Amino acid sequence: MLTVHLPDGSRREYSQAVSSYDVAAEIGPGLAKAAVAAEVDKQLVDLHAPLPTEGEISLRLLTKRDAEALEVLRHSCAHVMAQAVMRLYDGVQLAFGPCTDTGFYYDFELSQPLTEEDFPKIEAEMRKIVKSKERFERLEMSHEESLNLCRELGQDFKVEHIETGLADQKNLSFYRQGEFIDLCRGRHVPSTGHIGKAFKLLSVAGAYWKGDASRQQLQRLYATVFFDKKDLQEHLHRLEEAKRRDHRVLGKQLGLFEIDEKVGSGLVLWKPRGAVIREELQNFISHHLKRQGYSQVFTPHIGKIDLYRTSGHFPYYQDSQFPPLIDRDQLKKLADDGCSCSDLANMLSEGEIDGYLLKPMNCPHHIRIYASEKHSYRDLPVRLAEFGTVYRWEQSGELGGMTRVRGFTQDDAHLFVTEEQLAEEIASCLELVKIVLGTLGMENYRVRVGLRDPEGDKYVGEAEQWDRAEAACLQAAESLGTDFSVDTGEAAFYGPKIDFVVRDVIGREWQLGTVQVDYQLPERFDLEYTGADNKPHRPVMVHRAPFGSMERFVGVLIEHFAGAFPLWLAPEQVRLLTVSEKSEDYGRGVEQRLKDVGFRISGDFRGQKLGAKIREAQLALIPYMFVVGEKDAQNGTVTVRDRIEGDLGAMSLDAAITKLQDEISDRTVRQVASKQSDANDIDQ
């Protein structure tokens, strides 16, 4: 007898073999028609897969309302796309076709390059497959049978994957629909007919077999699918909006930053206008750091490898670090001794030789500053802050504009506190993150608490310390008064963390501010303070970075504001436009007055038509234009044009200056958010 427990608390019993579909059909024909997959004891299964014949199970039937169902739909549509490509082109070699956060892709080896001109043909063939309502059939085979099948199909990539990546698997699964069959774990919708019409091919890009640049080059076909056409159209609109806001494009158009291959991939050159934004952000947060009692420090860009051995960053982060720098005399001696590259790597890992690293983290340097002096409990908390540049060796395929780089500057700070101070200091750090996001109109965020996985092996330290650190993070998250999620296994290797995941104006999520609690590094570096009992005690360390990195944060801001920054942050705040050369002398005087009171302003004194000048300033996303003509010169006025609201009319120069100064000093959420929503309507 099988007992099935349903989410509503009811249960059903079966003495004969049944599937999840049979249970759905017994509940009602509407549910049977709507269901696309099921969850049995929290494990995803195909809707028609047989259930156990005895015992007790929990069953949840998935429909299009469930997030898991959309992933099943996308996985299934990837197979349909691959089937269509194989029907249309000869000699197709299949690689992998996983889901992504917003759709799916499939990698192919083809004798001819695919272009967007091929998309309508492929989509038309996919519609035929969907219309045929071919059933997705799961096939279980032994390892040897699987190899033989893939050899018969001539699918060399699958053969290699079975022989190497799946060598320890006794049995493997395939899915078949119509004439198409593919090695696949599943799960899938019942038939191709469940896919519907809301799919779209999006782009094609290059890829390598198993991500290895030394292996075969493949073509990666990106696509997406939804249950409803409305959802697809909304997604396509977001993609178009994302293209319009692409920080890589806007950054070049607005002269904010450059990534020059002669300097190096993933290394950002901040141009003068972009540097203004960065400097304003640093000034803004520095004000709050002083208010909260932080001390500014500066540390070198490199450090001895042994420093990072102690911290655990080397060799823990070795794969994402730049190669070590070794003393040239020592390196020459090793070469003379016949030391190979692998010998050198082993000697570095074992600590037999030393060298330097481009710093991957600022925390070991701040720790050594703390350790350079003796501390009493009366000195704590010690709060050290630095805009410190760190370096990570990201793979070239993972680099992307300013949001994924190899050198980036963190608004980093490390606090050394007593256990009694921990909760209050975490709350203070979280307050700072909320101030940053609120001021920039980025209030649509969620909070994520990353805890250790009790079964994981990447974590260092005692369980009791972890328990205390996790309890402090959970308590602080609860104090925020907003919903938060708990993600087991997402802690750093040295402690739990609280992340702010921000949703921008077009719905994308970015992980920005972070606060982390650390009992481990003070232990590793043997940090101490003298307590009230006159005995040595171990401080607790808090890592925090409200921006995360200046590069990533500014990249996100460019896209969030579509380049139309609020007045206080805009690289150029005012552009002065003359109607004719008759008002140039007065205009230059106005320009100088605005510079004297601290505005970032430029004057356009060219002899072009005023309409053309206004259009150029509008395209440059300048917040305000001051237009001056002969009448303004006579009356001591300027005609003010708002980037968004248009002509505001003539004002005395003093009144115009006061208006802008008030807006700069009033960095409220209302002002920034209002500007952002209106900025979407700017004709670019």
Q: Which of 75, 194, 220, 543 is catalytic?
A: 543
Q: Which of 188, 194, 414, 675 is catalytic?
A: 414
SS3 273: helix
Residue 329 is a catalytic residue: no
Element (H, E) at 219: strand 217-225
Residue 363 is a catalytic residue: yes
Distance between CA atoms of 390 and 411, rounded to whole angstroms? 11
Distance between CA atoms of 231 and 260, rounded to whole angstroms? 39
Is the link from the previous residue into 272 a cis peptide, with omega within 30 of 0? no
SS3 420: helix
CB 281 within 8 A of CB 553: yes
CB 62 within 8 A of CB 43: no
- Tokens describing residue 319: 């794969």
Residue 497 is a catalytic residue: yes
Q: Which of 278, 313, 497, 560 is catalytic?
A: 497
Distance between CA atoms of 601 and 576, rounded to whole angstroms? 7
Q: Which of 155, 321, 410, 516 is catalytic?
A: 410
Distance between CA atoms of 593 and 644, rounded to whole angstroms? 24
Q: DSSP letters along 472-518, please?
A: HHHHHHHHTTS-EEEEET-SBTTB-EEEEEEE-TTS-EEEEEEEEEE
Burial classification of residue 474, based on how many CB atoms lie within 10 Å of its CB (0-12 exposed, 13-18 middle, 19 or more buried): middle
Q: DSSP letters along 70-103, please?
A: HHHHHHHHHHHHHHHHHHHSSSPEE----B-SS-
Q: Which of 184, 363, 429, 473 is catalytic?
A: 363
Residue 543 is a catalytic residue: yes
Residue 612: CB atoms within 10 Å: 12
Q: Which of 48, 392, 524, 600 is catalytic?
A: 392
Q: Helical H runs in 246-401?
A: 247-253, 272-291, 305-311, 313-316, 328-336, 341-350, 363-371
Q: Residue 675's beta-bridge partner residues? A: none
Residue 53 DSSP one-character state: S
Residue 227 DSSP one-character state: S
Residue 594: CB atoms within 10 Å: 22
Q: DSSP letters along 94-112, please?
A: E----B-SS-EEEEEE-SS
Burial classification of residue 354, based on how many CB atoms lie within 10 Å of its CB (0-12 exposed, 13-18 middle, 19 or more buried): middle
Residue 443: CB atoms within 10 Å: 14
What is the β-pairing status of strands 37-40 and 55-62? antiparallel
Closest to 190 (Cα-Cα) out of 65, 46, 60: 46
Residue 321 DSSP one-character state: S
Amino acid at position 375, single letter: H
Establish how many alpha carbons lie within 13 A of residue 216's alpha carbon, considering only the half-sphere containing its beta carbon: 15
- Tokens describing residue 531: 């307590």
CA dihedral sign of residues 638, 644, 647, 651: negative
CB 136 within 8 A of CB 188: yes
Residue 392 is a catalytic residue: yes
Residue 237 is a catalytic residue: no
Distance between CA atoms of 308 and 320, rounded to whole angstroms? 13
Residue 188: CB atoms within 10 Å: 26
Q: Which of 107, 412, 504, 518 is catalytic?
A: 412
Active-site positions read 363, 392, 410, 412, 414, 497, 543
